[in-house]
A and B are shown apart, each in its own frame.
Chain A
Amino acid sequence: MTTFLLVVVVLPIAAVVWKSTGNGWSGFWEVVSSPQAVAALKLSVITATLAVLTTAVFGTIIAWVLVRDSFAGKSLVNAIIDLPFALPTIVAGLVIMALYGPRTPLDVTIGSFHFDADITFTRTAIYVALLFVTLPFVVRTVQPVLIELDRELEDAARSLGASGFTTFRRIVLPAILPGVLSGVAMAFARAIGEIGAIVLIAGNLPFKTEAASIHLFYRIEQDPEGASAVAVVLLAISFGVLLGIGAVRWHVTRHERG
């Protein structure tokens, strides 16, 4: 079994790391410091970070509403949260384009007033597509924690005179923070490498809307060593962030126990 995992997962990754140094360290550095590669990596890091922070805030609110609120159709809302997990990413891109693309009901002209929500071929399109694919991550890690959370603690804080916000900050937030962080870590890893959801709507213009994954995609045929070098940097960023968030999470849970 270990051998199976080694051959199927570890060996291909090792091959990429090996290939990335095919032109020596100077070749590696030349590629990853080239303006186009840097622009693509920067775009991916920034859009993924913004999207994941948005997902963290709204995901927590959605989880809260799904656990504590009650309204007609709640179970249906709960069910569709997982849709971005189940939907092929290429379809996700088309779904975003259906509403935020050209010739939609959100393209309105009334007299001299003109509004068009067409975001295709902009960086905003990448951000919105990433919001779509990362939506379930934080909701699904925070929801179980909120269900288990003892409401007596909150009632006690309230009866001792704490405001709603203080109760949230001092009681609820510390409890759900590890869940939020796990969700954020998974969402970031997903967002930084995303290709299917953005390939059709980003336009993929170098220096402008070319994300790291797409830069890699186009680079592979002519320059496999260069593509491997960019892939190694992308991997390093992804694992660095995962480790960083893991460390914060460890610190938070330890603090909680202490």
Chain B
Amino acid sequence: MGRYGLRVVALGYLTLILIAPLAMMVWRTAEDLDGAWAAITAPDTIAAFELTLKVTTIAVVVNTVFGIICALLIVRGNVPGRGFLNAFVDLPLSLSPVIVGLALITLYGANGWLGWFQRHGHEIVFATPSIVLATIFVTLPFVVREVVPTLREIGTEQEQAAHTLGASGWQAFWRITLPSIRWAVVYGVVLTAARAIGEYGAVALVSGNIAGETQTATLRVEDAYQFSYGNYAPAYGIAFVLAATAILVLVAMLVLQPKGARH
């Protein structure tokens, strides 16, 4: 098989699995634009997107702070538990989202080890807190994984120079370390946000899935599909908004990647 043969195989496979289905989805949405638009602007859909936005924001903030500290500990730290951190931080990537959901219900449910909150009126499971916890869980590794290699690469010379010139640890971090890892952090944040917006399995289990209250955008898509009665325009419409968000994420990744690589 020559060069052209391989090219045809590669592009043919991509067309069958990725490009043609995607084009068809856009076409399906365009077939019934009014129906799609009505579904997108329905109050429950807007509430779902608001919830997704809120949860994503919290997950991004928590995992950015955690990610930077965790990466610093893995690369620079001399503390016990460093090997443990390194080994376990990737764990969420190899876990089924359903197991993540089950784990949170088991731990925070009324009969769980941390069931005290649930029993005393501070609802975690089947309420927003568990959606936040599930999302933090599944997006945990992204910032760490981006920042660790960059930290290894930049070394400690500049920080040491800063210390020699009398900078405190905090000053060295803000003025030297953070600026040099900033693109890696931003890239990690983009990946975190993409996964947080798109999470389905873990959230489906723990959220309670009440329209207008604990229903996220991905759950809204499923809901629109289940109650479609043969009219898929609403499901395709809401899915289209999520797909457009994913394409924005891709563009952001493309713009950021070379910058990340340069540092």
Which A-chain residue is minimally distant from B113 (CB atoms)?
A15
CA of A100 to CA of B27, assembled, Å: 14
Within 8 A of B (CB), among A157-194: 186, 189-190, 192-194
Which B-chain residue is minimally distant from A80 (CB atoms)?
B18
Does B204 lie at the interface of the complex (its beta carbon under 8 Å from any beta carbon of A)?
A: yes
In the complex, the answer to whether A132 meets B18 with C-beta atoms within 8 Å is yes
Measured between beta carbons, the chain B residues less than 8 angstroms from A79 are 250, 254
In the complex, the answer to whether B99 meets A234 with C-beta atoms within 8 Å is yes
CA of A239 to CA of B95, assembled, Å: 9
In the complex, the answer to whether B98 meets A90 with C-beta atoms within 8 Å is no
A sample of 5 inter-chain contacts (CB < 8 A) reads: A1-B73, A2-B85, A86-B194, A98-B25, A135-B18
In the complex, the answer to whether A234 meets B93 with C-beta atoms within 8 Å is no
In the complex, the answer to whether A65 meets B18 with C-beta atoms within 8 Å is no
Which B-chain residue is minimally distant from A105 (CB atoms)?
B24
Which A-chain residue is minimally distant from B2 (CB atoms)?
A164
Within 8 A of B (CB), among A136-158: none
Binary CB contact string for chain A from 69 to 89 against chain B (1 if under 8 A, 0 otherwise): 101000001011111111111
Measured between beta carbons, the chain B residues less than 8 angstroms from A84 are 18
How far does the Cβ of B193 sit from chain A's closest Cβ, in whole Å? 10
In the complex, the answer to whether B7 meets A192 with C-beta atoms within 8 Å is no
How far does the Cβ of B125 sit from chain A's closest Cβ, in whole Å? 11
In the complex, the answer to whether B84 meets A2 with C-beta atoms within 8 Å is yes
In the complex, the answer to whether B200 meets A195 with C-beta atoms within 8 Å is yes
Which A-chain residue is minimally distant from B89 (CB atoms)?
A5
Which B-chain residue is minimally distant from A60 (CB atoms)?
B10
Known contacts A94-B235, A192-B96; is-contact A83 B18 (Cβ 8 Å): yes
CA of A11 to CA of B108, assembled, Å: 11
Contact for A87 among B9, B136, B198, CB less than 8 A: B198
Stretch at the interface among A25-33, A108-116, A224-232, A248-256: A224-232
Closest 9 CB pairs of A and B: A193-B96, A88-B198, A12-B103, A196-B200, A189-B94, A2-B81, A86-B246, A195-B201, A98-B25
Contact for A95 among B21, B92, B104, CB less than 8 A: B21
In the complex, the answer to whether A135 meets B136 with C-beta atoms within 8 Å is no
In the complex, the answer to whether A213 meets B96 with C-beta atoms within 8 Å is yes
How far does the Cβ of A251 sit from chain B's closest Cβ, in whole Å? 21
Does A53 lie at the interface of the complex (its beta carbon under 8 Å from any beta carbon of B)?
A: no
Binary CB contact string for chain B from 92 to 118 against chain A (1 if under 8 A, 0 otherwise): 111111111111111100001110000
How far does the Cβ of B159 sit from chain A's closest Cβ, in whole Å? 19
Does A235 lie at the interface of the complex (its beta carbon under 8 Å from any beta carbon of B)?
A: yes
Measured between beta carbons, the chain B residues less than 8 angstroms from A132 are 17-18, 21
Measured between beta carbons, the chain B residues less than 8 angstroms from A81 are 14
Does A13 lie at the interface of the complex (its beta carbon under 8 Å from any beta carbon of B)?
A: yes
In the complex, the answer to whether A242 meets B94 with C-beta atoms within 8 Å is yes
Of the listed residues A86, A192, A196, A216, the one surrounded by the most CB atoms of chain B closer than 10 A to its CB is A86
How far does the Cβ of A238 sit from chain B's closest Cβ, in whole Å? 6
In the complex, the answer to whether B106 meets A5 with C-beta atoms within 8 Å is no
Binary CB contact string for chain B from 64 to 95 against chain A (1 if under 8 A, 0 otherwise): 00100110010000010100110011011111
In the complex, the answer to whether B107 meets A90 with C-beta atoms within 8 Å is no
Does B236 lie at the interface of the complex (its beta carbon under 8 Å from any beta carbon of A)?
A: yes
Does B218 lie at the interface of the complex (its beta carbon under 8 Å from any beta carbon of A)?
A: yes
